[in-house]
Structure 1
Amino acid sequence: MVSYMGAVLYGFVGIVVAVMALLVAFQEKLVYVPVLPGLTKSYQVTPARLHLLYEDVWLRSADGVRLHAWFIKVLPESRGPTVLFFQENAGNIAHRLEMVRIMIQRLQCNVFMLSYRGYGESDGYPSQHGITKDAQAALDHLSQRTDIDTSRIVVFGRSLGGAVGALLTKNNPDKVNALILENTFTSIMDLAGVLFPFLKWFIGGTGSKAPKLLNFLVRSPWSTIDIVGQIKQPILFLSGLQDEMVPPFHMQMLYDKAAAHNRECVFVDFPNGMHMDTWLVGGDHYWRTIQQFLEKHVPEIP
């Protein structure tokens, strides 16, 4: 009996050690995917291919990393709202150009698309600490421009971009006027247990009942659930109910946490929306929802 229990104990310890080794060695590769399988790191298309008016912007993050971005304007002299767009974790900003093209047409807004460090033409390697600095550099750049209305800056983040955008919005109440979150997770710790079920026995987020034995090893927790309750600006939550990557209840939890402290929160779901195509299948309803949100919270001032 003793030998059997000892074997079970050794087996459990072996599993924990193996999981620890995997988390230490490969977690950034699991969280960040700058290059899609079968494609190169470089941009496949540029805004010019879609006949968009744009400029290449080069920034320096606070730690010196060189970053690339596209600033796309609806019109040369447009004073409409400016959307600071943060993408999902997989691929680069070129893969979001079709969505951004429609955004510009439907919302009559400018769009600033940042390549996180390690993505696209930006230098460095992605991490939460680094990407947080990258996002701040992008916002600081926009806040100093003289060709836009800096009182109408809106942060828009999808999936990982929502975690990036929420943290940036919380840290900059005087620079960001509103926040839009789409198909965003509560935290990497919660999402890990969804994508890799065996991990739910070792790590978990704020609301999880998991033992959380290995939370201390997670270098990019992106705990959005702990951030949204501190945001004072208006927030629009866009949730695709067929999301195959982030369970839709994550978005509902984020909304509930935010709405408990912020009366300017709106939750809209799209029954057929999946993780990457909610903007597409949502159609006119999707864009009208965002348009009404912008008209209410970042109106044009004559």
Structure 2
Amino acid sequence: MVSYVSALLYGVGGIVVAGMALLVAFQEKLVYVPVLPGLTKSYPITPARLRLLYEDVWLRSADGVRLHAWFIKLIPECRGPTVLFFQENAGSILIFISPALYIAHRLEMVRIMIQRLQCNVFMLSYRGYGASDGYPSQHGIAKDAQAALDHLSQRTDIDTSRIVVFGRSLGGAVGALLTKNNPDKVAALILENTFTSILDMAGVLLPFLKWFIGGTGSKGPKILNFLVRSPWSTIDIVGQINQPILFLSGLQDEMVPPSHMQMLYAKVASHNRECIFVEFPNGMHMDTWLAGGDHYWRTIQQFIGNHVPEIKEHESSHDDKDTEGR
């Protein structure tokens, strides 16, 4: 009996040690996947292939890292909303056929977004992703997102009062943090298939770790939480956001359990009445925009129309005159 208990304790101890070693050595490679193994980071096609009007933008993050982005416009002087789009990781292997097809898949989504929403789209490559320099980390990517928003806020060819942050998966965590930190610069937030936290996702990706790592709602002892350098605790962040939020959840998501989106919404709905939750029964992690079809785009269109309305020229002029007369 004693030997059995000893063996059990040694086994549990071995799992803990193995988990600690894995987290310390490889966690950035588990959390951030700029490109799938064996493939290049370079973009085999650009928006020009889809006949999109775009600008190559080069930015400097606050710590000096050089970043690359695409600013894709509906027309040269489009004053519609500007969507600051934060991407997911390298994406689901289920839709990845080749680098060209994967990038084309994302750009096709952006092409439809621009047409349906009559908007501009700013696509940032985080540090270590695409043509951007550096290595990804939560602290660094948060700086990258801020650099992108600061760039947009200083442009004179867009309506800076109509900036909408849109994040999918990892991008949702990035976008939520940026929106919370910039209540005066971000008009609204859209989250699609986003996780509650990396702490919770650790137990999804590596089930044996769920007893030792977890977010605010987990029941385990969480004794390894201190080792996680990129917790991305979105569920704690969204509770501090007062801007309108649209939650888009694909119920067939094979990577992030749909329950994560439900928990994020529940966290916000208790204090923010301008949040909406919409489910898409056939949506997977990367193809909810395809599976959702017209309903998907109408949902976003209505959300932006209601919460990020266009300010008419005569209304703006009238307000200016009233201010001068006071």
The structural deviation recorded for 1:3 is: 3.8
Report what 1:262 is aligned to. Answer: 272
Check conservation: 1:230, 1:261, Cα contact below 8 A.
no
**Structure 2, gaps ≥5 residues long:** 92-98, 313-326
Q: Once structures 1 and 2 are overlaid, which stretch shifts more, 95-104 or 50-59?
A: 95-104
User: Would you say 1:179 and 2:163 are equivalent positions?
Assistant: no
Q: Report the secondary structure of 1:266's partner residue.
A: strand
Report what 1:86 is aligned to. Answer: 86
Q: Report the secondary structure of 1:132's partner residue.
A: helix
The structural deviation recorded for 1:38 is: 4.4
Query: In structure 1, how many angstroms separate the alpha carbons of the residues matched to 2:133 and 2:59?
Result: 11
Q: Report the secondary structure of 1:262's partner residue.
A: coil
Q: Report the secondary structure of 2:161's partner residue.
A: coil
Q: Deviations over 1:129-182 (max 9, x none)?
A: 100000000000000000000000000000000000000000000000000000
The structural deviation recorded for 1:217 is: 0.3
User: Would you say 1:64 and 2:74 are equivalent positions?
Assistant: no
Alignment of 1:1-302 (within 5 A): 1-90=1-90, 94=103, 96-302=106-312
Query: In structure 1, how many angstroms separate the alpha carbons of the residues matched to 2:135 and 2:103?
Result: 19
Query: In structure 2, how many angstroms separate the alpha carbons of the residues matched to 1:269 and 1:14?
Result: 41
Query: In structure 2, how many angstroms separate the alpha carbons of the residues matched to 1:193 and 1:272?
Result: 24
TM-score (norm 1): 0.97
Q: Report the secondary structure of 1:175's partner residue.
A: coil
Q: Which letter does structure 2 place at the counterpart of 1:23?
A: L
Q: Deviations over 1:254-276 (max 9, x none)?
A: 00101111010000000100000
Q: Deviations over 1:220-273 (max 9, x none)?
A: 101000011110100000000111111111101100101111010000000100
Check conservation: 1:55, 1:70, Cα contact below 8 A.
yes
RMSD value over aligned CA atoms? 1.3
The structural deviation recorded for 1:36 is: 2.2
Query: In structure 2, how many angstroms separate the alpha carbons of the residues matched to 1:196 and 1:5?
Result: 25
The structural deviation recorded for 1:7 is: 3.1
Query: In structure 2, how many angstroms separate the alpha carbons of the residues matched to 1:6 and 1:246?
Result: 37
Query: In structure 1, how many angstroms separate the alpha carbons of the residues matched to 2:231 and 2:206?
Result: 15
Matched residues, number: 302
The structural deviation recorded for 1:16 is: 1.0
Check conservation: 1:83, 1:109, Cα contact below 8 A.
yes
Query: In structure 1, how many angstroms separate the alpha carbons of the residues matched to 2:90 and 2:219?
Result: 29
Q: Deviations over 1:6-37 (max 9, x none)?
A: 33323322221111000000011111110124
Query: In structure 2, how many angstroms separate the alpha carbons of the residues matched to 1:64 and 1:204?
Result: 33
The percent identity for this pair of structures is 88
Query: In structure 2, how many angstroms separate the alpha carbons of the residues matched to 1:174 and 1:206?
Result: 28
